[in-house]
C-alpha cells in the first residue's frame, strides 16, 4: 500500500504550548475532544486592537492545519467538518467565506516536502457555498461539511495520486486538505472470519504504523478446505492509560503523543485497517501508582468513562480493551476495592451499548477475584464482556497456557493458576497470549492441545511487529500457535510484507512521523 510522501507538522505554536502545559491530559476537562484545543484558535491581540471578537477557522476533528485523508481510486467520498469560532459571544452575526487558493499549493509543497497537485474543483463541495455564519449571541458556527470525492456525483473518477486543497478563510487563516488517492492493491487476501481461527492482535503505536496489521496473513493447509487469508479479527492499539491528577484527585485518560498524532491523521493510518472489516479497539492500561481500575470511587468512574467515550465516539473505534497491570495496590496507592473494577466494567458496558466491544485482559491481582460474585458486589463480570484473555506473556518464560477450566490438566500453567470469570463462557476466553519473543515449549503445547482441552480457537498476540534484525531475528511468528489452538488443522504463517513491501521484509511499517 502506498504511503503519503509528506507529513503534517503543525505551525500553531499556541496549540503546542497548550498541549505541553496540560501534559497530554486535555480530555479531562472537556465535553468534546476538540474543545480541549479550542484555545489555539483565539486571537487575543486582534481582539484588543479592534474591540471585536477574534474569529478562528478550523477543521473540527483535527488539531493541525493539515487534515490528511485517504480514499481508494474509484471509491466513494469522505467528509470534513469545518467550523468558525469566536473568542467570546457575538453581539452581531459574523460570517467567514472559505475558498480554495491555488497560489498556496507551491508553499504547501515547500513547507511539507510534498509533491501534491491542486485538488480539482469537480471533486469537492463546500456546504453553503463556503459561507460559515456565527449567529449573534453565539461563540461558534454550525459545522459545515466539506465533501471530498474519489468518484464525484457525475461518475468522474479521480486519478490515483496525492492532492492538496488549500482552504483560505476571509479572516486570513488556512487549512490544508491533503488527499491520497490510492491505486487498487491487487492480491491482498480478505480477512478470515471462519469459526476455526479467531486472532487478536496488540499493536504499539509508539513503534509502528497501524497499517502493519494489513500484512499479517496465514494459510490453512487442507486438501479440501484450504485457504489463504488475512488475520487479526480484533486489533487493540496502545498507548492509552489511566493517569491521575493529584490536585483534583481526578482520573485522566492520557494519550501518548504518538496516539494523538495518529488520531489527528485517522484517515491515513486507521481507516485503511477499519475498511478491511477488522475491529479496531483502544487498549487502556493503568500507569499511575495512585489510581488504578481497582481503587476508583463512583465519581471517578463516571468521569473516566465519559473521557473514554469521547475518544471512542469521535473517532468511531469499535470498542475498548481494559488491562490493569497491577499498579502497586496497597503500597503507594489505596488497596484493592473488589467492587471498583467491576463497577467500571458495568458503566463502560452501559456507555458502549451492545454494538461495541468490551474486552478484558485477565492478569494478576486486579482480576483474580472476578470468579467471586459476592466479592464483586453482585456484578457478574463475564456477562458484561464480549471476550477476555490471559495477559501472561513474560518473554523469559515459555508460552503459558492459562486454562481456568482445566487448571490441573497437562500443559496448563502452574505458575499462573486462574479461576473462570463468573458468567463468561469458555468459548470467549483466550488461554494463550504470546509475543514473537517468547520461548516455546512445544511439548507442553502439544500435550494440552492433543488432550482435547482446547476451549476455542482464540489466539492472542501482544505487540505484533515486522521482521527486525537482532536478538530475536528468526524467532516465532505471530500465529505459530494456530496449529495448537485448532487441532486437526495445519496453519502456515505468510508475512505479506515479504512479497513486495520491502526488498528484504525488514523494518516494514516502522513509524514515520
The pLDDT tens digits of the residues spanning 428-458 come to 999 988 876 666 666 777 777 777 778 888 9
Q: Is 237 helix (H, G, I), strand (E, B) or coil?
A: strand
Is 289's pLDDT higher than 80?
A: no
278 pLDDT band (50/70/90 cuts)?
very high
The confidence score (pLDDT) of residue 491 equals: 59
The confidence score (pLDDT) of residue 335 equals: 87
**Burial class of residue 45 in the structure, from the number of CB atoms within 10 Å of its CB (0-12 exposed, 13-18 middle, 19+ buried):** exposed
Q: What is the C-alpha to C-alpha distance for residues 327 and 324, in angstroms, rounded to an integer?
A: 7
More confident: 321 or 480: 321
**Burial class of residue 71 in the structure, from the number of CB atoms within 10 Å of its CB (0-12 exposed, 13-18 middle, 19+ buried):** buried
Is 298's pLDDT higher than 90?
A: yes
Q: Could you state, in order of their start, the residue ranges of all structural domains in the chain?
A: 13-182, 198-499
Over residues 50-107, the pLDDT tens digits come to: 455 688 898 886 767 888 887 778 878 888 889 998 888 878 888 899 999 999 999 9
Q: What is the C-alpha to C-alpha distance for residues 148 and 126, in angstroms, rounded to an integer?
A: 9
- What the block records as the C-alpha cell of 154 is 457525475
CB 98 within 8 A of CB 172: no
CA dihedral 117, 122, 124, 130 (to 10 degrees): 110
Strand residues in 111-230 grouped as ranges (E):
117-118, 124-126, 131-134, 144-149, 161-169, 174-182, 198-204, 216-220, 227-230
When pLDDT is averaged across residues 287-310 and rounded to a whole number, the result is: 92
DSSP 297-359: -HHHHHHHHHHHHHHHHHHT--EEEEE-----TTTTSPPP-TTHHHHHHHHHHHHH-SSSEEE
The confidence score (pLDDT) of residue 434 equals: 81
Is 121's pLDDT higher than 90?
A: yes
Is 206's pLDDT higher than 90?
A: yes
The confidence score (pLDDT) of residue 411 equals: 83
Least confident of 60-69, 109-118, 242-251: 60-69
The confidence score (pLDDT) of residue 330 equals: 74
Say if strands 94-100 and 131-134 run parallel, antiparallel, or are unpaired. antiparallel
CB 399 within 8 A of CB 441: yes
Q: What is the C-alpha to C-alpha distance for residues 310 and 203, in angstroms, rounded to an integer?
A: 21
500 pLDDT band (50/70/90 cuts)?
very low
Q: Is 257 helix (H, G, I), strand (E, B) or coil?
A: helix
Over residues 400-415, the pLDDT tens digits come to: 889 999 998 888 889 8
The confidence score (pLDDT) of residue 63 equals: 65
When pLDDT is averaged across residues 355-372 and rounded to a whole number, the result is: 96
Alpha helices in 398-493 (DSSP H): 442-450, 482-485
When pLDDT is averaged across residues 338-357 and rounded to a whole number, the result is: 96
Q: Is 437 helix (H, G, I), strand (E, B) or coil?
A: coil
When pLDDT is averaged across residues 390-395 and rounded to a whole number, the result is: 85
Q: What is the C-alpha to C-alpha distance for residues 132 and 172, in angstroms, rounded to an integer?
A: 14
Strand residues in 159-206 grouped as ranges (E):
161-169, 174-182, 198-204
CA dihedral 123, 129, 130, 133 (to 10 degrees): -150
When pLDDT is averaged across residues 358-363 and rounded to a whole number, the result is: 97
The confidence score (pLDDT) of residue 130 equals: 93
What value does the mean pLDDT of the chain take?
80
Alpha helices in 198-270 (DSSP H): 257-264, 266-269
Is 471's pLDDT higher than 90?
A: no
475 pLDDT band (50/70/90 cuts)?
low
The confidence score (pLDDT) of residue 17 equals: 33
The confidence score (pLDDT) of residue 367 equals: 96
CATH architecture designation of domain 198-499:
Alpha-Beta Barrel (3.20)
More confident: 484 or 39: 484
- Burial of 236-266, coded b for 16+ CB within 10 Å and e otherwise, reads bbbbbbbbbbeeeebbbbbbbebbebbbbbb
pLDDT > 70 fraction of the chain, expressed in percent and rounded: 77
Q: Is 287 helix (H, G, I), strand (E, B) or coil?
A: coil
Is 207's pLDDT higher than 50?
A: yes
The confidence score (pLDDT) of residue 386 equals: 98
pTM equals 0.67
Q: What is the C-alpha to C-alpha distance for residues 352 and 415, in angstroms, rounded to an integer?
A: 35
Those residues with Cβ within 8 angstroms of residue 402's Cβ, 6 or more apart along the chain or in another chain:
362, 390, 392, 412, 413, 416, 418, 431, 432
- CATH topology for the 13-182 domain: Immunoglobulin-like (2.60.40)
Site of grid cell 454494538: 355
More confident: 508 or 234: 234
Amino acid at each position: 500500500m502506498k504511503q503519503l510522501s509528506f507529513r503534517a507538522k503543525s505551525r500553531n505554536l499556541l496549540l503546542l504550548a497548550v498541549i505541553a502545559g496540560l501534559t497530554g491530559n486535555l480530555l479531562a476537562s472537556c465535553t468534546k475532544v476538540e474543545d480541549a484545543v479550542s484555545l489555539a484558535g483565539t486571537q487575543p491581540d486582534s481582539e484588543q486592537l479592534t474591540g471585536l471578537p477574534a474569529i478562528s477557522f478550523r477543521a473540527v476533528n483535527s488539531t493541525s492545519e493539515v487534515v490528511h485523508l485517504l480514499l481508494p481510486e474509484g471509491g466513494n467520498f469522505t467528509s470534513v467538518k469545518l467550523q468558525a469560532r469566536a473568542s467570546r459571544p457575538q453581539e452581531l452575526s459574523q460570517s467567514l467565506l472559505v475558498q480554495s487558493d491555488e497560489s498556496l499549493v507551491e508553499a504547501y509543497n515547500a513547507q511539507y516536502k510534498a509533491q501534491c497537485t491542486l485538488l480539482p474543483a469537480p471533486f469537492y463541495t463546500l456546504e453553503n457555498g463556503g459561507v460559515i455564519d456565527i449567529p449573534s449571541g453565539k461563540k461558534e458556527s454550525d459545522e459545515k461539511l466539506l465533501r471530498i470525492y474519489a468518484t464525484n456525483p457525475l461518475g468522474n473518477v479521480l486519478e490515483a495520486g496525492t492532492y492538496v486543497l488549500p482552504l483560505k478563510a476571509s479572516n486570513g487563516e488556512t487549512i490544508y486538505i491533503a488527499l491520497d488517492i490510492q491505486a487498487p492493491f491487487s492480491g491482498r487476501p480478505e480477512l478470515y472470519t471462519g469459526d476455526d481461527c479467531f486472532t487478536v492482535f496488540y499493536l504499539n503505536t509508539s513503534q509502528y504504523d497501524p497499517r502493519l496489521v494489513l500484512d499479517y496473513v496465514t494459510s490453512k493447509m487442507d486438501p479440501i478446505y484450504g485457504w489463504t487469508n488475512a488475520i487479526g479479527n480484533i486489533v487493540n492499539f496502545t498507548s492509552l492509560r489511566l493517569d491521575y491528577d493529584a490536585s483534583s484527585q481526578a482520573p485522566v485518560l492520557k494519550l501518548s503523543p504518538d496516539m494523538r498524532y495518529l488520531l489527528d491523521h485517522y484517515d491515513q493510518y486507521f481507516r485503511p485497517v477499519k475498511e478491511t472489516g477488522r475491529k479496531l479497539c483502544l487498549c487502556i492500561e493503568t500507569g499511575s501508582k495512585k489510581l488504578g481500575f481497582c481503587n476508583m470511587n463512583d465519581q471517578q468512574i463516571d468521569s473516566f468513562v465519559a473521557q473514554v467515550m469521547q475518544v471512542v465516539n469521535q473517532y468511531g473505534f469499535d470498542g475498548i480493551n481494559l488491562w490493569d497491570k497491577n499498579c502497586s495496590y496497597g503500597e503507594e496507592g489505596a488497596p484493592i476495592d473488589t467492587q471498583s473494577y467491576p463497577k467500571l466494567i458495568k458503566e463502560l458496558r452501559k456507555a458502549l451499548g451492545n454494538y461495541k466491544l468490551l474486552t478484558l485482559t485477565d492478569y494478576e491481582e486486579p482480576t483474580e477475584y472476578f470468579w467471586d460474585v459476592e466479592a464483586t458486589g453482585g456484578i457478574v463480570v463475564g456477562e458484561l464482556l464480549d471476550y477476555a484473555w490471559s495477559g501472561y506473556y513474560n518473554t523469559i518464560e515459555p508460552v503459558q497456557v492459562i486454562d481456568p477450566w482445566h487448571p490441573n490438566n497437562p500443559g496448563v500453567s502452574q505458575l499462573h493458576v486462574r479461576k473462570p470469570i463468573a458468567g463468561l463462557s469458555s468459548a470467549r476466553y483466550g488461554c494463550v497470549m504470546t509475543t514473537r519473543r517468547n520461548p516455546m515449549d512445544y511439548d507442553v503445547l502439544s500435550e494440552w492441545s492433543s488432550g482435547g482441552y482446547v476451549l476455542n480457537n482464540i489466539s492472542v498476540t501482544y505487540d505484533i511487529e515486522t521482521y527486525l534484525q537482532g536478538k530475536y531475528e528468526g524467532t516465532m511468528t505471530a500465529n505459530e500457535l494456530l496449529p495448537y489452538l485448532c487441532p486437526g488443522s495445519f496453519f502456515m504463517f505468510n508475512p505479506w510484507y515479504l512479497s513486495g513491501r520491502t526488498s528484504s521484509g525488514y523494518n516494514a511499517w516502522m513509524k514515520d512521523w
